[in-house]
A and B are shown apart, each in its own frame.
Chain A
Amino acid sequence: MKQLKFALLSLSVLIYLASCTKTTENVISDAQIKIGQTISGTNPLSGSIKGTMLANTTYTISSTITVNAGDTLLLQKGVKVNALNGSAIIVKGTLISLGTQEAPVTITDPKRTKTTGSSTASSDSSYVGGWGGIYCDKTCKLLVIKWTHLDFGGGALQAIPFTGPSVGDQYVIYFGNPDGVFILEDSWIYGSPDDAVRFYGGKVNIMRNTLEKCGGDGGDGFNAKGGTQGNMAYNLIIGGATNGTKSSNDGGISPQCMIAMYNNTYVNDGWRNTGAFGARSGSLEVENNSRALAYNNLVVNCRFGLRIAGGNNVTAKVYLADTLAHSDGPINQTAYGYNFFYGDNVDITNQFVPTNIAQAVVTHPQATGIPNMAAFLGSTYTFGKQYDGTSLVGKNDPLFVNYPLPNLNYQTQASIDGFDFHLKSSSPAIGKGYQGFAPLTLVPVDPNFGSSGITGPGKDLGCYQADGSGNKH
C-alpha cells in the first residue's frame, strides 16, 4: 500500500514534472523552431537580430539592434544585456523577455550605477538616458516583458528607427500598434528621462511592475494615447516626474483609449515637472476623451490626486476626459472611487481633489475614498473649485511596513532604497478595496506569449495585498 502510494506519488510527480517540462519545452521550442538559432554572447551584437538569447548568458549590444518584421527575439530567464553607446532595440517583429522571479532578465547600460537618497533632475544621472530603449513599430504584433529589469533606458534616439518617433525621443518602451499585444508584467523600470512607457495604441496588460525615478523634468510612468486599451494595475510608482498612470486619447486613433487603473501605489510623484506644462497633475490622469476606471489606488505625497480632466469651450476642452455613459465597452463609462490619499503639505492636500487652476477638472469628490472628500467638501462644493485642505495634512497614515510618515523628502525621495511599501496589518487601507468591477481581458493569457495572469481588483488598497497577491516585488 505504502509502496503503491509511493509509486502513485512518484508517478504523479513524474507526470507532473514531465508535463511541466514538456509544456515549457514545447512552448519555447514551438516558438523557437521558427527562430532556429542560438544567439552567441561571445561578440558584441548590432544590426539585425533574431533567435534566442540563452538563459543566464550575458550579452553586449554595441549599437542598435533590430528585430525585423516576421522575426522574433527571445530572452530566456537570467539573460543580462549590456547595451552600450546609447544603442536601442528596434522591434518590427516580436520581442519576448521571459525572466522569472528567481532569475530575472536585466537590460541595462553597464556604465550607470543606481544611487540612493536625494534625487533631482540634474543631480541624478538616472534621468539621463543610458541605452536607447525598446521601440516597437506598428508591425510589431507582440511584445512580452516579464520579470525583467529595464534600467537606465531612454537614451535619446540618434536616428529615426521608423516613421513615428523623432530624433531625441527618450522613452524606455515605445509601443505603437493598436492591433498588437503588449504585456509588461512583474518587471522593474529604473530611471528614464521622459515617459517610461509611451503607448500609441495596443492591447495592453501592465501589471505588478515597479517604477522608480521615471521622468527627468517631465514625463509620465505609463502614458497611453489613442488606440490603447488595457489594464494598469498593481504597480508601485515612486518618484515619477508627472503622472504614474495616464490615459489620453491624443491623436484620436481608433480604438478610443480606455484604461483600467486599479490597485496601484503612487509615492512622491509629480514633483519634477518643471516644463511649461509642469505641475498639472501627478498621480493618475484621465484626459482628452479617454475613458478609465480608477479604483483602489493608494496615493501618498503626490503633487495632485486623481485628475479627471475637464474643460471649457475656450481653453482646455481638448483635455476633457470622456465621462459619458456608452455601450460600446470595454469600459462603458469613466468611473472611480475607493482611492486613498495622504499628504504631508497643504499644497498636496489642497489637490487631493484637483482644482481648476492648471486646467479644468471634473473630478467629483467621492464618499468611498479615504479621506471621504465628499463629506470634507460638503454638498455645496462644485468640482474644480479651490478649497482649504489644511486640516487634511498628515491625516490617514496608510502605515507602510517601512516608510515612516510624515516624510518631508517627498520632492527628492524617488527610489525605494531600503523602504518597504507593503501595508502593515493595521493599515487603514486593508480590506477597503472595491471588487465590483472586472479588469479588461483583451490580451491572451499564456505563460510565454501572453499574460501570466490578469489579476482582478484586490481586497486591499494599493499594489501589495495582505494575502500575498498583487505586486510580487
Chain B
Amino acid sequence: MKLAFLPFLFVCFSCRVFAGDLTGYIFDKYSNEQLVGVTIVLDNGQKAASSALDGSFSFKNLVAGSHKLNISYIGYRSIDTTVVIGAENARLKFYLEQSTSTLSMLTVSAKANGESELFAKKKEQTIENIANIISANAISISPDVTVANVIQRVSGISVQRSSYGEGQYAIIRGMDKKYNTTIINGIKIPSPDNKDRFVPLDMFPAELLERIEVLKSLTPSMEADATGGAVNLAMKNAPEKFKLEANFGAGFSQLVLNRDFQSYKTDNISLKSPAELRGPGEYALISDFPYQNTVTRPLKNPVNTNYSLTVGNRFFKNKLGVIFSGTNQSSYKGSNATVFVQTGTIAPAATINTPLNQTFSDSENRQYSSKINRLGLMSKLDYNFNYDNSISLFATYLQLNERRVRQTIDSLLGGYSIHDYVGAFAVSNKTQVRSDLQSIYNITLQGKNKLAAPLSLDWSLVASRAKKELPDIAQFAVAYGINPDVAAGTATNGPTNVQSQTREWQHNTDKDLAAYLNLRYVLPKIGVSAPILGIGGMVRHKNRDNYDNKYTLSPITDPGSNDELYKSIPESKFTFIPAGGALGNAAGNPGIYTFKEDIAAGYGQVKYRFTKRWDLLGGLRVERTKQSYVSSLPVTVAGKYGSFGYTDFLPSVQLKDSLNPRRALRFSYFRSIYRPAYADLIPFYDRSGSESYATVGNPYIKHTIADNFDARFEVFGQGLDQFMVGAFFKTLKNPIEYVLKQNGFAAELILTPDNLGTATNYGLEAVYRKYFGNFGVAFNYTYTRSKVSSIKSIYYLSETGAAINTTTIQNRPQQGQSAHIGNFALLYKDTRRKIDAQLAVVYTGERINTLSLYLNLDNWEKATTILDFSIQKKFGKHFTLYGKANNLLNTPYKLIIKQHNYSYSGMFRLPYQESPDFVNVETDKFYASYAVGLRFNIQ
C-alpha cells in the first residue's frame, strides 16, 4: 500500500491484424478476477463503455493514435492512462487495486461494497462455513421482492408456499423448515409463528439486505439448532459516502383480473376477544361480534405498490456511520383452490395385503383473496472510536399484515351420481375473514474491542420481540340441501339456511433477551501461521405467551321451524346455545399457555492454518437448554405443565484444503440439535394450522440430535464464474415428525408430533455459473435422499371377517424433502446499454406434503416448475427502470395420493382428476403477477 500510485500493468498478448479496435479486460489486482460493470471513459467522455460479465469491454473503429482512458470502479482506485492505437487491434488487460485493505471477517466497517455480487462471491470463498451467498445487487436484478423468493434460487433450497403462492419457508437440503434458523447479522430472532420457532421468510423485504448467507455447516461459535442450515440476513451497513436510493414500483396479479378480489372492513375488528375485554367469567353479548367484518365486497383491479428509501452517510471524519432504510409493499394476491376433504376413518381393506383406499366427504372450492402489507424499517449507527474499538446500534422493525378472505363452496358429497359425477347432497357457502398481523423487532448493540495486540473481543446485547395476532377470525356460513332426480339428471335446491358462525381470537408474543460474547486470542506463530483461539458464549432468556379463544354462535331458528332462513348477513340472528358458550372456549383451551426458555452456551475453538494449504477451524460447543411451560389445561389432564432440561455437547470441525487460489476442497463435521417447537410439547388442541386436522402437542417427545458431514469442491473462476460440487450426509436421532393419530377414544384424527427412530438424509449438490460476454447461465442441482421410519396403520379384514387395526413400519422420505431440486437462470448483462435481464426457473421435485395415518396414503406435492422473468435498464447515472414477472407458467400446486383412482372414471367421478393411478386431492392456482418500477440512486 505504500506505493500510492501503481496505476496499471499493461500487457499485449494478441497481435492479430484488424484495424482500429480496442478490446480490454479488467481485473482485480490481487485476486486476478475479472471485474464487471467497470466504467471506461475514452477521450474525456467522447465514448464510454462498461465491462461485461467476463470483464471485457471494447471500442470499435478508433482513429489511430493516442487515446485517453479513464477506468473507474466503486471501491477501487481509478486509472488514468493513455493508449496508442495502431494499425492493429489492441487487446489490453487492466488491473485495478482496491481502495481499502483486504476483506476480513473482523473488518468493522465493510468499506468494500458489501452489496455487490463480487463481494458475495468473495465472501463465499473466504467464509469458514460451507455457504452460499447472494448479494443485494443479485437480488435487485432478480425477479424477487422477498427473502423467501430469493432464497429458492440458492443451491439446495426449496420453499414452502403460502395460501397465496408466495414462498414462505425454506427447506434446506431436504431438511424441513423447523430444522433451519433465521438470523439477522448473526443474531437469532424469535418467531411470530403461533406454534413454531421458524421465522417466515416472506416477512423480510429483500431491499433491506446487503446480502443473504445460507450457512450449511456450523462452527462452534454458532447456535447449534440449525441442522439444515442458518439463513443469515446481513442487513445494510452505512455506506462510505453519501448514498440515497429510492424505489417506486407498481404491479398487479393476473388473478385479480380474472376474478374479483374480495375485501372486508377492518375498522370493527377488536384486537382482543370479548373474554379479555369483559374479564373472566363475564358473558359476551352477541353485539360483541359485529357482522360488518364478515361482509365482503369486491375490489376492482387493485394495484400492487412498492416503495422504498435508503439514506446513508458517514460523518465526523468517517467515524460515525448512519444508514436508514425503509420499504413498504402492498399487494393483492390470492389463489383458487379445489380441495377434496379426506375422511378421518377409512373402510377396512379386504385383506392385509390389499391397498387401503382414501375416501372423501366434501369437495371444496376455495377462493382466497389476500391483501398483504409488508413494512420493513431498519437503521444502523456505527461509531469507530479508533482502529481498535467500535460500537454499533442496529434496530429493525418488520411487519407483515395479511387481510384474507376465504370463500368456500363446500359440497357435501352424496352417495349418488349424476352424469357420472358424484352428486352433492348439501352445499355450504362459507366466508371466512382473517387478519393475520405479524411483526418482529430487534435492537442489537454491538461492540468490538481490541484489548491487546493478540486479544480482541466482540459482544452483543440483544432485545427482540415477535408478535402475531389473529383478531376475530370470523366465519359466516349458509347451507342448503340438494334433492336430485337421479333418473332425470336434475336437482332442486332446498331453502338456504343460516349455519353456526365461529369467531376466534389468537395472539402470541415471543420476547428474547440475549447477550453474546466472543474472545479471540492470537497465539504466536507456529509453523506457517498463528493459531487463533476463540472462546465465548451466549445466554438467551425467552418468554412466550399464547392466547386462543373461540366462540360459536348458533342461528336463532324461525318460529315453528328448526332452521333460520337466510336473508342477508345483517339480518341473520344468532344466540349462544348453551348460554355458557358466551364465554368462548378459553376456560379449557390448551391453546392458552406461557413458555419460558433459557439457553446458555459456551464454546472453545481454534482456527489454524497448519500447512500452506490446510485451514482448520474446530472446537466444542456446549448448550444447556431449560424450558418450562404452563398451559390452561385442567389438572386432571396430563401435560398441564411441564419442564425440560438437557445439555448437549456439540463438537465441530471445518477443514479447507486450498488447492490453489481458485480451487479448494472443504470438509466439515458438526453436531447439531433441534428443540421441539413450543406447541410440539403442549397438548394444545388447535384447528388453525391445518385445514383438515387439529394439531395436538406431545410433551413426551425428545429433542433431536444430528450429526452432519459435508464435503465440497469449489472453483472460483473468472469474474462471477463459479463451480461447486458437494456431498452431505446427516443422521438424526429422534427426528420429530407430525403423524396422524386417533384423539383418545374419539374417531377424530389429530396431527401430533412424535420421535421416529433415526433418520438419515444425504445427497449431492452442484452449482455452476458461467458468463459468456453478455450472457450467463447459472445452474444448480441438488439430489437428496432421506429416510425416516414411520408408523402407519393398516385397517383390514381378517380371514374370519373381523375388522383389525394394526400398524406397520414404513420407510419414507422426510416431510417436505424432494429428491430433485434445481434452478436454472439465463442471465443477460449488457453493461454498455445498461440492461440486465434474467429468466429464472425453479424446479422442485415431488415431496411429501402431509402425512397420513394409513399406509401409503400420504399426500404428495407434485413436482413444480416455476418460471420468473426480470429486466432492468439504467438511464443516465441515477435512474433504473425495471420490470418483474412472476409465475409466468401459472404453475399450480397439486396434492395427490398415490392410490388407485376410483374417481377418475366410472360412475363416481370427481373433477380435476388426472390419472387412474393417483387421486388429485388439492389443486391451487395462483396465476402470474407483474410489476414495473423505477429506482433512483445516488452514491
User: A: which residues have CB within 8 A of B?
Assistant: 66, 86, 90, 118, 120-123, 127-129, 138, 155-168, 170, 176, 193, 200-201, 216-217, 225-227, 249-256, 271-272, 274-280, 288-289, 310-318, 320, 322, 324-328, 355-361, 384-386, 411-412
Judge whether A386 and B633 touch: CB under 8 Å: no
Residue of A nearest to B562 (CB): A272
Whether the Cβ atoms of A256 and B908 lie closer than 8 Å is no
B386 cross-chain contacts in A, Cβ below 8 A: none
Q: Are A164 and B744 in contact (CB under 8 A)?
A: yes
B550 → A minimal CB distance (Å): 9
Question: Given A168-B585, A217-B554, does the pair A324, B801 have CB atoms closer than 8 Å?
Answer: yes
* In the complex, residue of chain A having the shortest beta-carbon distance to the beta carbon of B342: A318
Check if A166 sits within 8 Å of B685, measured CB to CB. Answer: yes
Asked if residues B416 and A226 are in contact (CB atoms below 8 Å), the reply is no
Q: Are A289 and B413 in contact (CB under 8 A)?
A: no
Q: Closest residue of chain A to B577, judged by CB?
A: A128
12 new A-B contacts, CB < 8 A, other than A121-B557, A128-B577, A326-B800, are: A120-B561, A127-B577, A158-B587, A161-B634, A162-B637, A163-B637, A276-B499, A314-B902, A320-B347, A328-B802, A356-B414, A384-B415
Whether A311 and B347, one on each chain, are in contact in the complex, defined by CB atoms closer than 8 angstroms, is yes
Most buried by B among A200, A254, A357, A385: A357
CB contact under 8 A between A158 and B802, given known A164-B746, A274-B497, A385-B486:
no
Contact (Cβ within 8 A) A193 B578: yes
Pair B578/A128 contact, Cβ less than 8 Å: yes
The answer on a CB contact under 8 Å between B425 and A318 is no
| Contact between chains at B588 and A249 (CB < 8 Å) | no
Q: 7 smallest A-B Cβ distances: which pairs?
A: A360-B415, A250-B747, A200-B745, A326-B801, A313-B902, A164-B744, A167-B588
**B114 CB → nearest A CB, Å:** 53
Could you tell me if A310 and B415 are in contact, using CB atoms closer than 8 angstroms? yes
B580 adjacent to A251 (CB under 8 Å): no
Residues of A within 8 A of B423 (CB): 357
A409 to nearest B CB, angstroms?
10
A-side contacts of B346, CB under 8 Å = 317-318
Inter-chain CA distance A256–B579, complex, in Å, is 37
If A251-B345, A328-B802 touch, whether A317 touches B359 (CB-CB below 8 Å) is yes
Q: A256–B348 Cα gap in the complex (Å)?
A: 12
Please name the residue on chain A nearest to B634 by beta carbon. A159
| Contact sample, A vs B, 11 pairs, CB 8 Å cutoff | A127-B577, A158-B587, A161-B636, A216-B577, A279-B481, A316-B413, A322-B803, A325-B801, A326-B801, A328-B802, A386-B485
- Measured between alpha carbons, how far is A129 from B578 in the docked complex, in Å? 6
Distance from B564 Cβ to chain A, minimum over Cβ atoms (Å): 8
Instruction: Say which residue of B345, B422, B633 sits within 8 Å of A252 (CB atoms).
Output: B345
Point out the residues of chain A lying under 8 angstroms from B425, CB to CB. Answer: 280, 357-359
**Residue from A86, A316, A326, A355 in contact with B359 in the complex, judged by beta carbons closer than 8 Å:** A316
A332 to chain B, nearest CB (A): 8
Cβ contacts under 8 Å, A90 to chain B: 636
Which residues of chain B are near A155, meaning CB under 8 Å? 578, 580
Closest Cβ–Cβ distance, residue B730 to chain A (whole Å): 35
Tell me, yes or no, whether B559 is within 8 Å of chain A by CB.
Answer: yes
The CA of A299 and the CA of B579, in the complex, are separated in Å by 34
Q: Of all chain B residues, which has the CB nearest A162? A: B636
Judged by a CB distance under 8 angstroms, whether B524 is at the interface is no
Q: A328–B414 contact, CB under 8 A?
A: no
List chain B residues, Cβ under 8 A from A317. Answer: 346-347, 357, 359
- Cβ–Cβ contact A251 & B747, under 8 A: yes
Is the interface on chain B under 10, 10 to 19, 20 to 34, or 35 or more residues?
35 or more
Whether a CB of chain A sits under 8 angstroms from the CB of B76 is no
B795's closest neighbor in chain A, by CB? Answer: A252
Whether A251 contacts B745 in the complex (CB less than 8 A), given A129-B578, A159-B588, A276-B479, comes out as yes
A316/B415 contact (C-beta < 8 A), A122-B557, A322-B803, A385-B486 known? yes
Hey, what's the 0/1 contact readout for B662-691 against A, CB within 8 Å counting as 1?
Answer: 000000000000000000000001000000
Q: Whose C-beta in chain A lies nearest to the C-beta of B581?
A: A156
Q: Is B903 an interface residue (CB 8 A)?
A: yes
- Nearest B residue to A327, CB-CB: B800
CB A51 to nearest CB in B, in angstroms, measures 20
B270 at the interface (CB under 8 A from A): no
Closest to A288 in B: B345
With the chains together, A200 CA to B745 CA distance in Å? Answer: 6
- Return chain B residues, CB-CB under 8 Å to A167: 585, 587-589
Contact, CB under 8 Å: B908 / A249: no
Expressed in whole angstroms, the Cα–Cα distance for A202 and B338 within the complex equals: 40
B-side contacts of A138, CB under 8 Å: 745
Q: For the complex, would chain B's binding face be called helix, strand, loop or mixed by DSSP majority?
A: loop
Asked whether, in the complex, the Cβ of B562 is within 8 Å of the Cβ of A217, the reply is yes
Closest chain A residue, CB of each to CB of B903: A314
Q: Is the CB of B634 within 8 A of A357?
A: no
- In the bound complex, do residue A156 and residue B556 qualify as a contact, i.e. CB atoms below 8 Å apart? no
Please determine whether A122 and B414 come into contact, CB atoms closer than 8 angstroms: no
- Please give, as numbers and ranges, the residues of chain A lying within 8 Å of B902 by CB-CB distance: 312-314
Roughly how many angstroms separate A65 CA and B208 CA in the complex, as a whole number? 59
**Residues on B with beta carbons closer than 8 Å to the beta carbon of A66:** 636
A318 in contact with B345 (CB, 8 Å): yes
Instruction: Report how far A253 CA is from B271 CA in the complex, Å.
Output: 43
Q: Which residues of B in the span 800-852 have a Cβ within 8 Å of any Cβ on A?
A: 800-805
B908 touches A315 (CB 8 A): yes
Closest to A155 in B: B578
Contact (Cβ within 8 A) B633 A160: yes
Q: Is B410 an interface residue (CB 8 A)?
A: yes
Asked if B426 lies at the interface with its beta carbon under 8 angstroms from chain A, I say yes
Residues of B within 8 A of A158 (CB): 580, 583, 587-588
Is B360 within 8 A of A315, CB to CB?
yes
Q: Is B61 an interface residue, CB under 8 A from the partner?
A: no
**Does B742 interact with chain A (Cβ within 8 Å)?**
yes
Near A by CB (< 8 A), chain B positions 342-368 give 343, 345-348, 357, 359-361
Check if B347 sits within 8 Å of A289, measured CB to CB: yes
Name the residue among A160, A176, A324, A325 with the largest chain B CB count within 10 angstroms. Answer: A160
* Residues on A with beta carbons closer than 8 Å to the beta carbon of B801: 322, 324-328
The contact string, 1 if C-beta is below 8 Å from chain A, for chain B 589-605, is 11000000000000000
Q: How far is the CA of A279 from the CA of B415 in the complex (A)?
A: 13
Query: CB-CB contacts of B551-588 with A at 8 A, as 1s and 0s?
Result: 01011110111111000000000010111110101011
Task: Assess whether B588 is in contact with A276, with CB atoms less than 8 Å apart.
Answer: no
- Separation of A151 and B415 alpha carbons in the complex (Å): 37
CB distance from A278 to the nearest CB of B (A): 7
User: B745, A201: Cβ atoms under 8 Å?
Assistant: yes
List residues of chain A with CB within 8 A of the CB of B412. 276-277
CB pair B414 A359 closer than 8 Å: yes
A201 vs B797: C-alpha distance when bound (angstroms): 19
In the complex, how many angstroms separate the beta carbon of A134 from the nearest chain B beta carbon? 15
Give the shortest distance, in Å, between A377 (CB) and chain B (any CB): 15
Question: In the bound complex, how far is the Cα of B343 from the Cα of A386, in angstroms?
Answer: 26
Q: Would you call B357 and A313 a contact (CB within 8 A)? A: yes
Return the contact of A160 from the options B479, B588, B797 (Cβ within 8 A): B588
Give the nearest-CB partner of A252 in chain B: B805
Given contacts A122-B557, A315-B908, contact A252 B486 (CB under 8 A): no
Q: Closest A residue to B421 by CB, please name it.
A: A314
Q: A167–B361 Cα gap in the complex (Å)?
A: 25
CA A66 to CA B635, docked complex, whole Å: 13
Instruction: Report the bound CA distance from A320 to B803 in whole Å.
Output: 13
Across the interface, which residues of A come within 8 angstroms of B416, CB to CB?
355-357, 360, 384
Minimal beta-carbon separation of A412 from chain B (angstroms): 7
Check if A122 sits within 8 Å of B795, measured CB to CB: no
B422:A274 contact, CB within 8 angstroms: no
Contact A253 B745 (CB under 8 A): yes
Contact of A164 among B479, B581, B745, B910 (CB under 8 A): B745
Taking a contact as CB atoms under 8 Å apart, the answer to whether A274 and B562 are in contact is yes
Chain B residues in 8 Å Cβ range of A226 = 747
Q: Which residues of B contact A314 (CB under 8 A)?
A: 359-360, 413, 422, 902-903, 908-910
- Given contacts A159-B587, A411-B562, whether A315 and B415 have CB atoms under 8 Å apart is yes
Q: Does B484 contact A (CB under 8 A)?
A: yes
* Residues 432-487 (chain B) with a chain A CB within 8 angstroms: 479, 481, 483-487
